[in-house]
């Protein structure tokens, strides 16, 4: 996966890509939550983390491509608002289980921590420590 491929992946995962007819958009991290069909797609989490790993050097720069930041923020913010917030559309409509809510929360913690560490200059080793520890 190239850096441009990784940016495109984040854009599909965040529903930020202009090709809304694509299955990648519809089945992406946010796309699969709206409408939620009762199943989480763990592969989306791994695609996001792989994209962040590929883009680590880009995210550590002083000036970061807006598409990267917008996609990460969209995934984290809307993921929390839709799935984690008790008043969000999934919980308030009893569409998601407590276990699924916990799983999404853990994924969002890893995603936001990785992005934070890279933006803050803590480095890729720290940024992906928890992900690598639990998934390799």
The model carries a pTM of 0.96
The CA-based angle 92-95-98, given to 5 degrees, is 85
DSSP 6-23: HHHHHHHHTT-SS-TTSH
pLDDT tens per residue across all 136 residues of the chain:
999 999 999 999 999 999 888 889 899 999 999 999 999 999 999 999 999 999 999 999 999 999 999 999 999 999 999 999 999 999 999 999 999 999 999 999 999 999 999 999 999 999 999 999 988 7
């Amino acid at each position: 996966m190239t850096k441009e491929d990784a940016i495109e992946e984040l854009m599909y995962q965040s529903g930020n890509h202009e090709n809304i007819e694509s299955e990648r958009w519809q089945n992406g991290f946010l796309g699969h939550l709206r409408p939620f069909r009762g199943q989480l797609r763990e592969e989306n989490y791994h695609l996001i983390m792989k994209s962040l790993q590929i883009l680590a050097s880009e995210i550590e720069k002083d000036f970061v491509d807006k598409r990267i930041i917008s996609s990460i923020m969209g995934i984290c913010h809307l993921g929390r608002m839709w799935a984690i917030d008790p008043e969000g559309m999934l919980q308030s409509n009893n569409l998601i289980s407590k276990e699924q809510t916990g799983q999404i929360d853990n994924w969002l913690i890893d995603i936001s921590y990785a992005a934070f560490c890279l933006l803050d200059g803590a480095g890729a080793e720290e940024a992906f420590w928890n992900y690598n520890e639990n998934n390799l």
